[in-house]
Chain A
Amino acid sequence: MLKLFFRELLKGKISIGVISFSLIVYISFLFYLPNLEKKLHKLIVDRDIENIDTFSVSVLNTLSKHYDRGDYKILTDILETLNVKDVKYVFIVSKSERGYRVLIDASKNDRLPPGSPIQLLPEEENILQNVYTTKDKVVLNHENIDTIGITIYRPFIKDGEILGVLIVDFSTRKLKEISQLVHNLKNIIIFIVAGFLLSLNAVIISVLKAVYHRKKSRTDSLTGLYNRTFLEDLEYTMNLSNYVVAVIDVDFFKKINDTYGHEVGDIVLKEVAKILKNNIRSEDYLIRYGGEEFLLFIRKNREDINKTINGIERIRSAVENEKIYINEKNYIKVTISIGVNLSTEKMKDIDEAIKKADVALYRAKGKGRNRIEIYDEERDTKEATLKISQIKKALEEGRVISYYQPIVNLKTGEYTHLEALARIVGEDGSLIQPYMFINVIENTFLYTQLTKQIVEYNFKVLTKYRDLKVSINLKPADIINQSTIDYLIELSSKYPDIAGRMLLEIVETEDALMYEQIIKNIHSLKERGYKICIDDFGSGYSNFVYLLRLNVDYLKLDANLIKNIDKDKISQEVVKMIVQFCKKMKITVIAEFVENESILETLNLLGIEYGQGYLFSKPQPLEKFIK
């Protein structure tokens, strides 16, 4: 937050710089104003006073020459020469028994007759005393009173004897003018400073607003974590090589959503986010990357990378051991799969680093979930996926073909169907396996296109070879995709005898098959003659209700159930139960992964009629099966 604030602040650094500089200049000037006032006083007032004082010396000399004549009018006339602009009162006082009396008065106003008593200000009495003693002039700036500004006190001496003291009072007009000028300047500066402060605050407020909106736009509203927008910023600010990238996926999240509803799904996501957040350090970044997918950038411990891995394991374990309460009483437990990319220094950008972590995540999921898989450059390069553009090009150029693996009658050893397995022929002629492209285009329009091309390819095969029965693999996503369904229906109308020789193997992943639309679509495909097979039954959320509701023709047992069936009694019991159920429901059971004689023997004992696997044949081009 703070970093973000300063970053936003720096964006407006020019305006802030100008405002701050101006503020410093104006505030400095404000503090300089008292000095300026003093300097102006000195410059204007002191100069005037100096001039008049100099002149007063000669006036007093003249007065002393004429004083003995006793002509008050002449004396007044002489003194009046000092009565210039800005001089308010000019008079001479002499000390008497009861204070001071006016000796000669040449003031413009308030002129008093000679001999009049005059009460001076308390501070003046001391000054006059001083002048009488020192016979020297004194200048006083009146601060307590504003009827007079500055006064000069100069002794009136005749024949070495002080006859009185000349008092020249200056008006406050000039002083007031200077003060007013300085005050006005001060006001102007204060207003400018206030204006600049307001502008500065406006900038700060706008920065705070920007920070707020930016933070909001970069925060996931459900979990409070960063979202993908933040990832874009991070790309520019983070040194990727200092971090380990981990892609975290909540296992079976769709199942949770479908079973408990989206509200519980949201609670799970929030809680998982909280657990993750509590188990990372402040220098790590946690981002909600997708629906149930989180992205974690963990600062590397360069000395011991195992510490980083242990940290990730701690996160996985924390989620596994946490009870997530979905209401006051009930809780569920969830697990996470984590794909880790440790070699971020070798990545050209964040996207590549994430992609590699995603490859590891894919492997973690494939290995049974609730585990951490680390991206292995050597191994995973071999398993590197194609780019979307490459797949698109292959589809456009019709380089998508099928390899086939036979489904064999276990009693006769004859194959009844060939399972079509998608392959892409690389531009160099190499054969590209489905794991390298299926997941890349999942949930994109290319996936639908791929399905259609496989269907079209096999329709051509079935048209050409009238005795052949082919099975093709579909995902629940295909069955819910109306465009794919329409295409299958269209082909069945065009080639009515072919649909009956096509087995549609629908992968049993999660509860997707329970959706009404899927059930409806499967029924309409069956009406068109297609045979329906549930693939990978027993792998995850096997549900016998599917089999009843979907009215399937075939059921293909998952490889996990079969691969150890010759040794694993539990698998045998489960398979036995499925076989009994299917016989009752007239569903033909096919076993995958028939790899050896021992498995074959067990399957025969369990009464399974059909099987496929390397014992019979690995996937091969069609030509291998055409006599």
Chain B
Amino acid sequence: MKFLKSKIIFILVISLLSTLKAQELAEKYLVISLLSTLKAQELAEKYEVKLIEKIVMGITGKSYPKICTVNYPVDRIKEYSTYLVISSCKQADMVIAGTDELESFDKPILLIGDTEIKDRKDVIGAIFWKKGRPQIIFIDKNLKRFDIQIPREYNKYIIKKDSLKYAEAVF
């Protein structure tokens, strides 16, 4: 009889707590849901950061490479990256930049965004979006300047030119 009583009390307590929890979850869920509407591009952003992470780790060969960001939202890196460590540009292994108009740190720069790469010696590559798909290019001359060996899978993205120009039509 005593066991049954304590069992009933336990169930009641759990039920009460679960109600409170359900309410909390419901509120949380609603907030997330509303935020998800606002963050329509969050999957693309995540995809982009994961790509940056993969490239930087591949290039530096480090498990926790240090990066700095210039004109690129650092919070996005913090949100989606597991391994990239944010540091000052002086100490960084690579610079992630949202524009090519930046001072020189004598560090390899990875440009992010749909921008034309000017003739900079420190920009080793870029990621930009075309037709909803990320496009990667690496500049051969600048890779060599930093003596960077990119992973083999990216070799097909290496271009010999100084700046990004689309190939001529096949016609």
- Interface, chain A (partner B; CB < 8 A): 1-2, 5, 70, 72, 88-89, 91, 94, 98-99, 101, 103, 107, 110, 112-121, 124, 144-148, 169, 176, 180, 183-184, 186-187, 190-191, 193-194, 197-198, 200-201, 204, 208, 282
Contact = CB atoms under 8 A, between A and B. Distances in A.
B150 interface: no
Contacts of A176: 40
A187 B156 contact: no
B131 A107 contact: yes
A360 B101 CA distance: 110
Contacts of A145: 43-44, 47, 132
A2 B170 CA distance: 86
A282 B1 contact: yes
Q: Which of B22, B26, B29, B47 is the most central at the interface, judged by chain A CB atoms within 10 Å of its CB?
A: B26
Given A1-B5, A88-B132, A118-B135, 18 more contacts: A72-B171, A89-B132, A110-B131, A113-B169, A114-B170, A116-B166, A119-B130, A119-B133, A119-B134, A147-B44, A148-B133, A169-B132, A187-B33, A190-B25, A194-B26, A201-B15, A204-B12, A282-B1
Q: Which of A99, A112, A145 is the most central at the interface, judged by chain B CB atoms within 10 Å of its CB?
A: A145
Nearest to B25: A190
B169 A194 contact: no
Given A89-B132, A99-B156, A145-B47, A115 B170 contact: yes
B33 A183 contact: yes
A113 B37 CA distance: 34
Given A72-B169, A190-B25, A147 B132 contact: yes
B148 interface: no
Contacts of A98: 156
Contacts of A110: 130-132
A537 B67 CA distance: 110
A146 B43 contact: yes
A169 B167 CA distance: 23
Contacts of A193: 22, 26
Interface in B118-141: 129-136
Contacts of B5: 1-2
Main secondary structure of the interface of B (DSSP, over half): helix
Nearest to A98: B156
Contact of B166 (A89, A117, A201): A117
Contacts of A120: 133
Interface of B: 1, 4-5, 8, 12, 15-16, 18-19, 22-23, 25-26, 29-30, 33, 36-37, 40-44, 47, 129-136, 156-157, 166-171
A148 B132 CA distance: 6
Nearest to B42: A146
Contacts of A89: 131-132
B132 A201 contact: no
Contacts of A116: 166-167
Contacts of B1: 2, 282
B26 A191 contact: yes
Nearest to A191: B26
Nearest to B17: A201
Contacts of B135: 118-119
A187 B22 CA distance: 12
Contacts of B167: 101, 115-117
A146 B136 contact: no
A144 B29 contact: no
B168 A115 contact: yes
Contacts of A2: 1, 4-5, 8
27 contacts: A2-B4, A2-B8, A101-B167, A114-B170, A115-B168, A118-B135, A119-B130, A119-B133, A120-B133, A144-B47, A147-B129, A148-B132, A148-B133, A169-B131, A184-B33, A190-B26, A190-B30, A191-B30, A194-B19, A194-B22, A194-B23, A194-B26, A198-B19, A198-B23, A200-B15, A201-B15, A201-B19
A186 B22 contact: no
A145 B46 CA distance: 8
A183 B29 CA distance: 9
B168 to A, nearest CB: 6
Contacts of B4: 2
A112 B14 CA distance: 60
Contacts of A194: 19, 22-23, 26
B169 A118 contact: no
A115 B169 contact: yes
A114 B11 CA distance: 69
A148 B130 CA distance: 11
Nearest to A93: B131
A70 B169 CA distance: 12
Contacts of B33: 183-184, 186-187
Contacts of A184: 33
A427 B75 CA distance: 104
Nearest to B47: A145
A5 B5 CA distance: 11
Contacts of B26: 187, 190-191, 193-194
Given A119-B136, A204-B12, A70 B18 contact: no
Contacts of B134: 119, 121
Contacts of A70: 171
Contacts of A119: 130, 133-136, 157
Q: Which of A169, A183, A204 is the most central at the interface, judged by chain B CB atoms within 10 Å of its CB?
A: A183
Given A89-B132, A118-B131, A119-B157, A101 B170 contact: yes
Contacts of A208: 12
B30 A187 contact: yes
A94 B171 CA distance: 13
Contact of A146 (B12, B41, B166, B169): B41
A131 to B, nearest CB: 17
Given A176-B40, A190-B25, A201-B19, A147 B171 contact: no
Nearest to B158: A98
Contact of B169 (A114, A169, A282): A114
Contacts of A107: 131
Nearest to A173: B40
Given A98-B156, A116-B166, A120-B133, A204 B8 contact: no
Contacts of A146: 40-44
B8 A197 contact: no
Contacts of B136: 119
A145 B33 CA distance: 18
B136 to A, nearest CB: 6
Nearest to A204: B12
Contacts of B40: 146, 176
A38 to B, nearest CB: 19
